[in-house]
Structure 1
Amino acid sequence: MKFLRNLLASILGFFIALFLLFVFFFAIAFIVGTEEKIVVKSNSVLELDLSTPIKDYAPKENNPIAEALELVDEKLALNKIINAIENAKTDDNIKGISIKTPSINAGIAQTQAIRNKIEEFKESGKFVYAYNDIYTQKNYYLSSVADSLFLNPVGAIDFKGLSTEILYFKDFEDKYGIKMEVIRHGKYKSAVEPFLENEMSEANREQTSSFLKSIWSEITDDISKSRNISVEKLNLIADNSNGRNVTLAKENNLIDASIYEDEYEEKLSLGSDKKVNTISISDYINSGKGRISSTAKDKIAVIYAQGEIRYGEGNIDYIGQGIINKAIRKARKDNNVKAIVLRVNSPGGSALASELIWRELELTKKEKPLVVSMGNLAASGGYYIACNANKIIAEPTTITGSIGVFGAIPNFNQFTSNIGINAEQVSTNSSASYSVFEPMNQKFYEVTKEGVEQIYTTFVNRVSNGRNMTFEQVNEIAQGRVWTGKEAIEKGLVDQLGGLNDAIKVAAELAELENYRVRNYPHYKTDLKDALQMNPFMKASKEEILKEALGNENYQLYHNLQKIKDVKGIQARIPFIFQIK
């Protein structure tokens, strides 16, 4: 009797739980389905706040429950920002653009692409104004495109030129006995240099100085044209920090006036008595303005490859051959897709995954035109997957090239010896084995070195065939050397300068299309199980907590060191971890 009572109670409990779960999902669906529709009001100003992380591609989350519970990281998509500004040109409700952003959470090439689009927007005759309390250098670069640029009376402009900093760990390794065993090909392949030396090599200093100067020349050229200040004077301003206060900024024509925020808001009305409405770029995108409408049957597929390249499935944050190759095959088999654009924004990574993606693209190129568009980075493995395209288009400030490979393995032999630990091995064969507790033996080194050399040779041959160059010509500009997009044209690694829209136009020309629409790939799916790995009662993720505790710069150092433990196999990766500031 007791057994039956317990059984009935269990069954009843199960159905109650099922009912409550049903009510929960119904409530979530109701909340999602009843979201207020965003309407663009008349007499509106489009406000650009780009402090939210910007990715080349950030498709809308297709898991409404995860989205409703705010388990999805907030982000903006570069392609949607560009489309929104294009739509704003002909939108009668939009009277102008206000650039008002505390920071810009995008790379330099992405920032330049947005700036170029705002320059196009100005051709419509609508105004572009910019305001800030303090301008960071990247923020000022974007804002300088405005017709009128304003600064808070006690504000400042951080305009000082570009620099980067690399940490070296050789003394740390020697002191604590924890080191990285390194095998590489390429004198510029300095991804592993910090583990081998305690100061920057001349080769690394040469390439770093070269690409920083190339990027800086783009920035100063653009600002010079917009603000009517000579490049020579801009460099003097940077040398002497002559944007450090309002008086100097005004004297040097960096700004048009110093006003308070409320006075700026009045200026947006352009003297009209009508109420001025502002709409954020994110709301404007969500109103439907983040895409270009078309009824054309023919399509151009844009496949986004963004993040490090790792062997595996991949997701929105890193490139795996699984998801990317599925997207390539899907676009190839779609009869309505007449051409393919591969948008690459990657520092590289796994050589094996890069080769697998290269192969899928090689098969695709035989059937349909293939064009590559390069974002902030298309280096090493990122260039590997790009090199066989019919045409390669890069932003002037894109970091590309870095044709070289390396292998790096941690070793704790000295550390364990120092603390009195000894490791003994027993094996059935004398193969080229490796233990992190023993020094690297010559046999393992030779086998690994052979693998590195083989992959380097394959890499150079891939570039040689794709770019119609000899092995020797590629080898001369390879060796892991990094180039900007502007430099890469001179070296034959890139065909022309431009953004994603330019690449799409080239793909249309190759496919002989006049009317077409763009279809974006891949499609990402976040399982609720994965989303719920974050505490649903805490909006802040582990990364956000660490950023708050460490600060952005210290968090970036922690994040970069964390990446090292994920490196597996021989790598085709950008020469070093750097941040331009």
Structure 2
Amino acid sequence: MAFLRNLLASILGTLVALGILFFMLLIFASLAESAGEVNVRQHSVLELDFPYPVSENSGYDSEDPFSFFYDPTMGLNDITKAIAVAKTDDRITGISLKTPYLMAGLAQTRAIRNALQDFRESGKFVYAYGDFFMQKDYYLASVADSIFLNPVGTVDFKGLAAEVLYFADFQEKTGLKMEVVRHGKYKSAVEPFLSNQMSPENREQLSSLIRSLWAAMRDEMAASRGLAPADLDRVADTLGAREPEMALRAGLVDGIAYQDAYEAKLVRESGTAKEHPERISLQRYMRYSRGRSLHTGTDEIAVIYAQGEILYGEGGPEYIGQELMTRALRRAREDKDIKAVVLRVNSPGGSALTSEILWQELQLTRKEKPVVVSLSDIAASGGYYLAVGGDRILAEPTSITGSIGVFATIPNMSGLSDKIGINAEQVGTHRFSMDYSFFEPMRDDFREILRQGIERAYDTFLERVASGRGITVAQADSLAQGRVWSGTEALENGLVDALGGMPEALEMAAEMAGVDDYRIRTLPRYKTGLERLMEDLGGAEAKTGSLLEAELGAEWAQALRELRAMLQQEGVQARMPFTLKIH
């Protein structure tokens, strides 16, 4: 028995040692790769593909060997910078675009599209090839000089649609419900818990929103393809690009070809003498471009990224917390080399308290230097709360913004506890000592206290909007009620100052600060992979997302995350009025 025990111990020790050795080899390999200079050969074609989700700023450090422990993302700032660097790189002859299942928002997609349009102005080519094109993929690819489709491929071109799930019957049947207090007739984040069907107000705002987003996409695609917008509407109405020959006749693609024929075209256009095109991947070229500066001035403009839900706490790459953002704003206003600030917002909102704290920090920053706000895919509710703290606001036509309204949701399982035989009894010293129990119906007096808090938060929100936009509280209220707007609609309503992306925001900030040339300082500083790993060693957070998707699939994993987030909400929420997935 002792022999067997010793043998098993030896085997286990060997396995542990091998695991540690493998771990160290991975680190050294990562360090070696990061330390090495990226070799860009002559006649290279920059191959753009997007295997990971696109975030505003990934916070990824190519020299951090511990970053591979976390789900990778691609920073929009790194992507657009790589395209801009390639524009003036004589070794890069053109770009080949491959975009199956682009995991980016519409505004982010438009930012990449604009960068490619600027690249084309250098005289270099941009070609796109797809075995198939999903609608967002095609929106990006439409900027190319030529688009090629696999002979058995398809173009998913059908317009935009949105779907919302409703849970009133589910709550009735299970006894598990959400207690809701809200302000704003369009504040439909809580509507799925109150009804089994879409309200006229929500249907109105959703219809208006997706029509505006589609119009912006359609007009840009039509201009790039030399087609009339009405032509694209007809294609969408009839699914007129579902087969390669149909897509070709409709003018959506320029050629039908297999991959080898497409590569032969890349060889001819790039001027290489080799049999296959000389490629460099976007990921490798981003490593190269990170070390290159597009601006050489001594003055600086700070670009502060506010991305994710707004929660009370530290903050990080996935969510906005007051601690990390406050440090970034203070650093920006106290550093004499920084002459202006661009706040890049991509957030559906969240905690009203945290939004107010950061709004105040923005006011302090505005007293010292100009603050320009650039809206990405979503800057709604709490995200817009932050935006009105700046001097100027720019939005993409496809940005989703507004949603000026607040609500509170609290889980209640009194119906479920009755069904399964659980009874909760309470004892307290005062009337509100037990202000709320999950196991009892919500008392009217407690609901009234919540309602008063909601009204106070809503009034404060309106005051911030009125002050920031130079309008009356009554005018702000007429644009509020929780309604969401596209960037184009927001401009018409005076909620933003102009349409544009990060390049325009930087140009405006430089003009307001009176600087001609500048460098960009990216803030905040996120924790390194090692710091995050050490925090997560006591739990299982590092790979939760990957495990969920592996076991449940992406759709169900996302639904579970959204339900968990709703159940974990604390306090008054200034949040995007629904989880919007646009198809």
Q: TM-score range by the shorter chain?
A: over 0.9
SS where residue 430 of structure 1 aligns? coil
Check if 1:513 corresponds to 2:511.
Answer: no
Q: 1:46: which partner in 2?
A: 46
Q: Does the 8 Å contact 2:312/2:354 carry over to 1? A: yes
Residues 296, 131 of structure 1: CA spacing in aligned structure 2 closer, same or farther, 3 A cutoff? Answer: same
Q: 2:326: which partner in 1?
A: 325
> What does 1:491-570 align with in structure 2 at a 5 Å threshold?
491-526=493-528, 528=530, 530-531=532-533, 541-570=543-572
Q: Which amino acid aligns with 2:503?
A: N
Separation in structure 2 between the aligned mates of residue 29 and residue 165 of structure 1, nearest angstrom: 44
State which drifts further: 558-567 or 477-486: 558-567
Q: Does the 8 Å contact 2:81/2:289 carry over to 1? A: no
Q: 2:247: which partner in 1?
A: 249
Q: Does the 8 Å contact 1:63/1:528 carry over to 2? A: no
Offset of residue 228 of structure 1: 1.5
Separation in structure 2 between the aligned mates of residue 497 and residue 282 of structure 1, nearest angstrom: 30
Offset of residue 59 of structure 1: 2.4
Residues 462, 37 of structure 1: CA spacing in aligned structure 2 closer, same or farther, 3 A cutoff? Answer: same
Q: Which amino acid aligns with 1:364?
A: T
> What does 1:251-270 align with in structure 2 at a 5 Å threshold?
251-270=249-268
Q: 2:340: which partner in 1?
A: 339
Q: Which amino acid aligns with 1:200?
A: M
Offset of residue 30 of structure 1: 4.6
The C-alpha deviation readout for 1:268-295, integer Å capped at 9, x for no partner, is 1226452331111111111135753444
Q: Does the 8 Å contact 1:80/1:291 carry over to 2? A: no
Check if 1:112 corresponds to 2:121.
Answer: no
Separation in structure 1 between the aligned mates of residue 42 and residue 52 of structure 2, nearest angstrom: 26
Q: 1:12: which partner in 2?
A: none
Offset of residue 576 of structure 1: 0.5
Residues 20, 223 of structure 1: CA spacing in aligned structure 2 closer, same or farther, 3 A cutoff? Answer: closer
Separation in structure 1 between the aligned mates of residue 537 and residue 313 of structure 2, nearest angstrom: 26
The C-alpha deviation readout for 1:434-455, integer Å capped at 9, x for no partner, is 1111111111011110000000
SS where residue 430 of structure 2 aligns? coil
Separation in structure 2 between the aligned mates of residue 291 and residue 182 of structure 1, nearest angstrom: 51
Q: 2:363: which partner in 1?
A: 362
Offset of residue 25 of structure 1: 9.8
TM-score (norm 2): 0.92
Q: 2:446: which partner in 1?
A: 444
- Aligned counterpart in structure 1 of residue 232 of structure 2, from 228, 231, 234: 234
Residues 193, 23 of structure 1: CA spacing in aligned structure 2 closer, same or farther, 3 A cutoff? Answer: closer
Separation in structure 2 between the aligned mates of residue 320 and residue 540 of structure 1, nearest angstrom: 19
The C-alpha deviation readout for 1:437-480, integer Å capped at 9, x for no partner, is 11111110111100000000000000100110000000001000
Separation in structure 2 between the aligned mates of residue 21 and residue 99 of structure 1, nearest angstrom: 39
The C-alpha deviation readout for 1:275-326, integer Å capped at 9, x for no partner, is 3311111111111357534442210000000000000111110000010010
Q: 1:166: which partner in 2?
A: 164
Q: Which amino acid aligns with 1:577?
A: T
Separation in structure 1 between the aligned mates of residue 531 and residue 115 of structure 2, nearest angstrom: 39
Separation in structure 2 between the aligned mates of residue 66 and residue 532 of structure 1, nearest angstrom: 10
SS where residue 145 of structure 1 aligns? coil
Offset of residue 418 of structure 1: 1.7
Q: 2:573: which partner in 1?
A: 571
Separation in structure 1 between the aligned mates of residue 529 and residue 342 of structure 2, nearest angstrom: 28
Check if 1:59 corresponds to 2:59.
Answer: yes
Q: Does the 8 Å contact 1:109/1:398 carry over to 2? A: yes
> What does 1:71-110 align with in structure 2 at a 5 Å threshold?
71-110=69-108
Check if 1:150 corresponds to 2:148.
Answer: yes
Separation in structure 1 between the aligned mates of residue 22 and residue 230 of structure 2, nearest angstrom: 64
Q: Which consecutive segments of 4 or more residues in structure 1 shift more than 3 A?
A: 19-33, 61-65, 526-530, 532-536
State which drifts further: 104-113 or 412-421: 412-421
Offset of residue 120 of structure 1: 1.2
Residues 185, 539 of structure 1: CA spacing in aligned structure 2 closer, same or farther, 3 A cutoff? Answer: closer
Q: Which amino acid aligns with 1:58?
A: S
Residues 191, 291 of structure 1: CA spacing in aligned structure 2 closer, same or farther, 3 A cutoff? Answer: farther
State which drifts further: 138-147 or 224-233: 224-233
> What does 1:282-431 align with in structure 2 at a 5 Å threshold?
282-289=283-290, 291-431=292-432
Separation in structure 2 between the aligned mates of residue 23 and residue 130 of structure 1, nearest angstrom: 43
Q: Which runs of 5+ in 2 are unaligned?
A: 1-16
Q: Which amino acid aligns with 1:429?
A: H
Offset of residue 175 of structure 1: 0.7
Q: 1:205: which partner in 2?
A: 203
Q: Which amino acid aligns with 1:400?
A: T
Q: Does the 8 Å contact 1:156/1:244 carry over to 2? A: yes
Q: 2:11: which partner in 1?
A: none
SS where residue 385 of structure 1 aligns? helix
Q: 2:6: which partner in 1?
A: none
State which drifts further: 98-107 or 538-547: 538-547
Q: Does the 8 Å contact 1:87/1:289 carry over to 2? A: no
Counting matched residue pairs gives 560
The C-alpha deviation readout for 1:504-536, integer Å capped at 9, x for no partner, is 110000000001111000001146364267799
Residues 291, 471 of structure 1: CA spacing in aligned structure 2 closer, same or farther, 3 A cutoff? Answer: farther
Q: 1:281: which partner in 2?
A: 282
SS where residue 143 of structure 2 aligns? coil
Residues 361, 259 of structure 1: CA spacing in aligned structure 2 closer, same or farther, 3 A cutoff? Answer: same
Residues 112, 295 of structure 1: CA spacing in aligned structure 2 closer, same or farther, 3 A cutoff? Answer: closer
Separation in structure 2 between the aligned mates of residue 148 and residue 26 of structure 1, nearest angstrom: 46
Separation in structure 2 between the aligned mates of residue 529 and residue 79 of structure 1, nearest angstrom: 23
Q: Which amino acid aligns with 2:513?
A: A
Separation in structure 1 between the aligned mates of residue 85 and residue 289 of structure 2, nearest angstrom: 10
Offset of residue 24 of structure 1: 9.8
Q: 1:475: which partner in 2?
A: 477
Offset of residue 28 of structure 1: 6.9
Q: 1:485: which partner in 2?
A: 487
SS where residue 387 of structure 2 aligns? coil
Q: Which amino acid aligns with 2:273?
A: K
Offset of residue 381 of structure 1: 0.2
State which drifts further: 558-567 or 339-348: 558-567
Residues 290, 151 of structure 1: CA spacing in aligned structure 2 closer, same or farther, 3 A cutoff? Answer: farther
Offset of residue 125 of structure 1: 0.7
Q: 2:215: which partner in 1?
A: 217
Residues 102, 209 of structure 1: CA spacing in aligned structure 2 closer, same or farther, 3 A cutoff? Answer: same
State which drifts further: 329-338 or 19-28: 19-28
Q: 1:175: which partner in 2?
A: 173
Q: 2:133: which partner in 1?
A: 135
Q: Which runs of 5+ in 1 are unaligned?
A: 1-18
Q: Does the 8 Å contact 1:299/1:517 carry over to 2? A: yes
TM-score (norm 1): 0.92
Offset of residue 32 of structure 1: 4.3
Q: Does the 8 Å contact 2:533/2:542 carry over to 1? A: no
